[in-house]
Structure 1
Amino acid sequence: MKRSTWAVAGGGAAVALGLVVWAFAPRPLEVEVATVTQAAFKATIDEDGKTRVRERYVVAAPLAGQLLRMRLREGDRVEAGAVVAQIVPVLSPMLDDRTQRDLQARLGIALAQVQRARARADGARIGLKQALSEAARTEQLATQGFVSLTKLEVTRLAAEAAQKELDAALQEQQVANHEVEQAGNALRVVRGPQQNGRAFDLRAPVAGRVLRVAQVSEGAVALGAPLLELGDTSQQEIVAELLTTDALRIQPGAQVLVERWGGTGALDGTVRRVEPAGFTKVSALGVEEQRVKVLIDITSPAARWASLGDGYRVSVRVVTLALDKAVQLPASAVFPLPDSEGPGDADFGVFRLDNGHARLLRVKVGARNGSMAWVPQGVDPGATVIVYPPAGLKDGARVKARSV
């Protein structure tokens, strides 16, 4: 065989060997990447909630009789003192004495409620005075740089909450006075001469809207039977049932974002109260959970959420941490390391893309929200990290960013 033939055969064999090596050589792994940024960061606790009228009032029958057909329906607006129902007294001579005793007891209860409402209003005035004084001192210290803006905002919100508490106490006092008037009128009807079919007027204790009508048709009602519920839908709160472990991280005055409420954008709110008593609730998976109710005030202008009614479902995000400048990356890029000591002070890892290779970095995770993780140390802004790293990815492995 000629030398040229050997050369051609050797070259072909080398090419074939090269093709085999290239075919079985490991390929760079395609991965998704993201950039580490430095921006504002908020850690939140997300949960569903529902709206609730802050103060609802039940109009009950002050005496037994025949209820005339109700003209009001759910959603109708009424003014304070307007007639909402009419009852024609039907007093049997055998029941007059017992009815008088019941009405006298009802009048005594109403008078006691007036005293309690007056005491609550006095306490609310003192609380408002104290909150305004504290807010003034904090604002003066803030101008001198001795307290943070967060502390100043908390004191302002406390003053607003104290004002709302006073408004509610004054309204409760008004309702209590109305109950005394109604009970006194009913007692005078029983003690006085027969009304000859004249109807007794029940009046609204406050201005608001009808939330529920217990009985629409004409019929007999007993003493104390509920007839309808009234409430001011412009004065609403949100009730969210949070896990007790999450509620421990929430303080009154915390910022809240109200989402998925049916309108555009998110509504602003603040936590007014975390109730001290928890309760057991069974989840959809059949797991018993300890939860606690958190009451949230809507601080956005009422005109934005005027269409919200009582018992509407919303989603709330309670802010537990807010940073102006925080190094953050997608939460899907962070994973716990096998040698971490535990969830409390565990070390986490992230793969950084470095010249076509994956470099494992050990980082600390300060907090997370739904999509991002705050990393106070371990990675610099501008670095490219691998999102959703495959389980078999190792330090130093060849990788290639997946084209979008």
Structure 2
Amino acid sequence: MSRKSIIIMVILFCGLGVAYFLSGTSLPVDVTVAETGEVKAFVEERAKTTLPRIYRIAMPLNGRILPITVNEDQKVTKGQVVAQMDTSDLDAEVAKAKYRVEQFAKKIIEQADNRLEDNSLDQFDEFLKSMDLTVEAASKQQEASKAKWEFARSEFDRKYQLSKRNAISESELNEADLFKKQSEIDYQKDILTWRSLQAVQSAMQIGKISILKYKEKKVLSEAVLKEEQKEAMSQFDQLQRDRKRAIMHSPIDGTILTRNFENERTLPAGEILLEIGQLEDLEVEVDVLSQYVGNIRIGSPVDIEGPAIGNQIVHGKVKRIYPKGFTKISSLGVEQQRVKVIIGFENNIWKELQKQKRNLGTDFRVRVKIYTEIKENVVKVPRSTLFRNGSGQWQAFLVRNKKTVLVDVEPGVMNDFEAEIQTGIKAGDQLIVAPSMNLTPGQSVEAHVIKNL
């Protein structure tokens, strides 16, 4: 269509409108009646079901996992075995560590046994007592030998002087000389015996000290063995814990949510094998635009609906509002700042849906309406009857005596469908729905009441 044709059509339509207005014919309009009731302000968002806690079963250490026989959606009980590693290598390590601990225990017992040393010390004590007496006797004996030798020497000197005066015979002098020499030999022998016994006595004392030192060394060796035993026991305990962890149990009564592996394979420590949750604790997680979160409170009522739940609307309440927001890109590519909000079901919706033969699990899509404010017994009108003028003032067209009346209004709580009117409109007033931009005050209209918008 050409530009000229468009201009002609616009002029024709305007002319027809002016002619219709000047003709005095009433303009048909759709109206609704303001009424008293409840108005709710809400934030509506897409959301998903979630669980407050998901229990993850992971590989406790590097090794080979045996086939996992539990399936998704299978019920498990607390303590039930849900996965198990091949423990043949672990069993061998545990047995080796146990043997090492036992060997250390035997060595410690041997080191702590001092019966032989104690008996030897007792014998040395008895020997030393006897040796003390023997050494003392030898000392006395050499003293006696010395006295005898000194006597024999003096006697020989006396007889030698007598022999010079021919007072004694030569044989008597020889006897005195022999007696002197024998006494000297006996004295030397007794000195040698005494010193030999002293040496034996010292050797026995050294032997006793050696045994005492050996006992002290055994005590130190026992301490070292005990420390090594502690290390061996620590390794043994660690291997036992690893052996125990190799058999993985369910920490709760719950449902298998995810099974990441089925067949036997070698996996590193930390690899997630299973996820387990309690579906009866289901809640809803929603990302709300940050500018709306300020109006949401803990305990704010929520309506939850969606195909996952069915045709019904279920109720919930806000349980938790995260203190930190995050950036999220919308489906239109717009960067938005959002805050995570957690909603709890008022009733055990999971059990109710089970009775209805409907399955609801985690990460199911739903839609929520979080009510931020509720006003009761107020004048309310459909949202489509209100509009703003050029200065931003809220206005509405009323129908009184078949004439249009333009009024300024002050709305209160509103949502996408209805609004509270604080001033300008009272219950029973007729308001024009979606008024035309060409509508003017005082214009004659023929009202057609619409009951349900």
Q: TM-score range by the shorter chain?
A: 0.5 to 0.7
Residue 381 and residue 24 in structure 1: after superposition, are their counterparts in 2 closer, same or farther (change >3 A)? closer
Residue 22 and residue 185 in structure 1: after superposition, are their counterparts in 2 closer, same or farther (change >3 A)? same
Structure 2 partner of 1:293: 340
Structure 2 partner of 1:107: none
| Distance in 1 (alpha carbons) for counterparts of 2:449 and 2:406 | 22
Spell out, residue by residue over 1:191-243, the C-alpha distance to the aligned partner (whole angstroms, 9 max, x if none).
89xxxxxx942111111001111111111122222110000011011111011
What is the letter of the counterpart of residue 391 of structure 2? D
The answer as to whether partners of 2:63 and 2:86 remain within 8 angstroms in 1 is: yes
Residue 353 and residue 403 in structure 1: after superposition, are their counterparts in 2 closer, same or farther (change >3 A)? closer
Structure 2 partner of 1:208: 254
1:321 aligns with 2:403: no
| Distance in 2 (alpha carbons) for counterparts of 1:277 and 1:250 | 15
Q: Report the 3-state secondary structure (helix = DSSP H, G, I; strand = E; otherwise coil) of the residue aligned with 1:376.
A: strand
Residue 235 and residue 330 in structure 1: after superposition, are their counterparts in 2 closer, same or farther (change >3 A)? same
| Distance in 2 (alpha carbons) for counterparts of 1:285 and 1:56 | 32
Residue 76 and residue 24 in structure 1: after superposition, are their counterparts in 2 closer, same or farther (change >3 A)? same
Structure 2 partner of 1:254: 300
What is the letter of the counterpart of residue 274 of structure 2? L
| Distance in 2 (alpha carbons) for counterparts of 1:242 and 1:50 | 12
Residue 185 and residue 62 in structure 1: after superposition, are their counterparts in 2 closer, same or farther (change >3 A)? farther
Spell out, residue by residue over 1:231-265, the C-alpha distance to the aligned partner (whole angstroms, 9 max, x if none).
00110111110110000111111111112242242
> What count of residue pairs does the alignment treat as equivalent?
285
* Residue of 432, 440, 444 corresponding to 1:398: 444
Which of the two has greater helix per residue? 2
Q: Report the 3-state secondary structure (helix = DSSP H, G, I; strand = E; otherwise coil) of the residue aligned with 1:350.
A: strand
* Residue of 273, 278, 286 corresponding to 2:320: 273
1:304 aligns with 2:352: yes
| Distance in 2 (alpha carbons) for counterparts of 1:74 and 1:191 | 26
Larger Rg over CA atoms: 2
User: Which sections of structure 2, spanning at least 5 residues, go unmatched?
Assistant: 1-18, 98-235
What is the letter of the counterpart of residue 77 of structure 1? K
What is the letter of the counterpart of residue 333 of structure 1? T
| Distance in 2 (alpha carbons) for counterparts of 1:238 and 1:185 | 43
1:349 aligns with 2:395: yes
What is the letter of the counterpart of residue 254 of structure 1? S
Q: TM-score, normalization: structure 2?
A: 0.59
What is the letter of the counterpart of residue 250 of structure 1? I
Q: Report the 3-state secondary structure (helix = DSSP H, G, I; strand = E; otherwise coil) of the residue aligned with 2:269.
A: coil
In the TM superposition, residue 88 of structure 1 has moved relative to its aligned partner by 0.3
The answer as to whether partners of 2:382 and 2:419 remain within 8 angstroms in 1 is: yes
In the TM superposition, residue 23 of structure 1 has moved relative to its aligned partner by 11
Structure 2 partner of 1:382: 428
What is the letter of the counterpart of residue 36 of structure 1? A
Spell out, residue by residue over 1:130-166, the C-alpha distance to the aligned partner (whole angstroms, 9 max, x if none).
xxxxxxxxxxxxxxxxxxxxxxxxxxxxxxxxxxxxx
The answer as to whether partners of 1:32 and 1:386 remain within 8 angstroms in 2 is: yes
- Segment of structure 1 superposing worse, 21-30 or 69-78: 21-30
* Residue of 48, 51, 69 corresponding to 2:49: 51
CA RMSD of aligned residues (A): 2.7
In the TM superposition, residue 401 of structure 1 has moved relative to its aligned partner by 2.0
Structure 1 partner of 2:289: 243
| Distance in 1 (alpha carbons) for counterparts of 2:447 and 2:84 | 76
* Residue of 217, 221, 225 corresponding to 2:263: 217
What is the letter of the counterpart of residue 89 of structure 1? T
Spell out, residue by residue over 1:358-394, the C-alpha distance to the aligned partner (whole angstroms, 9 max, x if none).
1011100112123111111110101111001011111
The answer as to whether partners of 1:65 and 1:91 remain within 8 angstroms in 2 is: no
In the TM superposition, residue 29 of structure 1 has moved relative to its aligned partner by 1.9
| Distance in 1 (alpha carbons) for counterparts of 2:272 and 2:242 | 20
Give % identity.
Answer: 29
In the TM superposition, residue 324 of structure 1 has moved relative to its aligned partner by 2.0
- Segment of structure 1 superposing worse, 41-50 or 217-226: 217-226
1:60 aligns with 2:112: no
Residue 377 and residue 83 in structure 1: after superposition, are their counterparts in 2 closer, same or farther (change >3 A)? same
Structure 2 partner of 1:367: 413
The answer as to whether partners of 1:67 and 1:220 remain within 8 angstroms in 2 is: yes
In the TM superposition, residue 26 of structure 1 has moved relative to its aligned partner by 4.6
The answer as to whether partners of 2:87 and 2:243 remain within 8 angstroms in 1 is: no
The answer as to whether partners of 1:328 and 1:375 remain within 8 angstroms in 2 is: yes
The answer as to whether partners of 1:55 and 1:231 remain within 8 angstroms in 2 is: yes
The answer as to whether partners of 1:64 and 1:89 remain within 8 angstroms in 2 is: no
Residue 22 and residue 389 in structure 1: after superposition, are their counterparts in 2 closer, same or farther (change >3 A)? closer
Structure 2 partner of 1:284: 331
The answer as to whether partners of 1:62 and 1:186 remain within 8 angstroms in 2 is: no
What is the letter of the counterpart of residue 329 of structure 1? V
| Distance in 1 (alpha carbons) for counterparts of 2:286 and 2:21 | 59
Residue 289 and residue 250 in structure 1: after superposition, are their counterparts in 2 closer, same or farther (change >3 A)? same
Structure 2 partner of 1:89: 87
Q: Report the 3-state secondary structure (helix = DSSP H, G, I; strand = E; otherwise coil) of the residue aligned with 1:217.
A: coil
| Distance in 1 (alpha carbons) for counterparts of 2:64 and 2:277 | 25
In the TM superposition, residue 34 of structure 1 has moved relative to its aligned partner by 0.5
Residue 185 and residue 366 in structure 1: after superposition, are their counterparts in 2 closer, same or farther (change >3 A)? farther
Q: Report the 3-state secondary structure (helix = DSSP H, G, I; strand = E; otherwise coil) of the residue aligned with 1:389.
A: coil
- Segment of structure 1 superposing worse, 215-224 or 385-394: 215-224
The answer as to whether partners of 1:59 and 1:228 remain within 8 angstroms in 2 is: yes
